[in-house]
Homo-oligomer: A and B are copies of this chain.
């Protein structure tokens, strides 16, 4: 449990009442997000790259190609900021200033490690697939040594992380509440459309459930 900010850098400055630092909240948001954005400093410049992440215990993992700039920056010991954000609803107020959104987000800071032991890497790859498609790993053509080599996996302990959340109705000032306009929330949700089978899929093979579709 981290009831207080794990570092001054990770402490929320804006709207600190929306902040949370406890492990359960941070884990739940990481687990609910289909993908993440990882920020690096490359040649002194910020670079933000979308990729897929997963969590095991108090560690977050993400995936890249062994040949990517992102992975090479991390291999050089660079720090990252891994952020996930879920937009739950638009929040419509009576004045533009009080418009907002209901959301859940997490920021994780630190220096990641490359998972380079082949056994650990294979276990992590399995964790990635099983997070999305439980039971699928065993049904796939097993990875070759070359495929394992070409996959890069990074791990970051969740030692410097924070969550930020908003929920509920708009926060109009009392004197604005009778302004004659609709106000409230417009919830958003991800859904899965019908699976599209590839050519050559054999009869009897069924698609798994769509991850993160509500």
Contact = CB atoms under 8 A, between A and B. Distances in A.
Contacts of A126: 96
A36 to B, nearest CB: 9
Contact of A39 (B39, B97, B172): B39
A136 B77 CA distance: 48
Given A41-B45, A47-B39, A186-B192, A143 B97 contact: yes
A1 interface: no
B210 A186 contact: yes
Contact of A34 (B87, B170, B197): B87
Interface residues of A, number: 98
A23 interface: no
Contacts of A199: 169
A50 B94 CA distance: 24
B180 A92 contact: no
Contact of A140 (B140, B179, B187): B179
Interface string A80-93: 11110101011010
Interface in A139-186: 139-144, 147, 150-151, 169-170, 172, 176-186
B97 A151 contact: yes
9 smallest A-B Cβ distances: which pairs? A39-B46, A39-B48, A50-B85, A97-B147, A182-B205, A39-B39, A187-B193, A48-B83, A184-B197
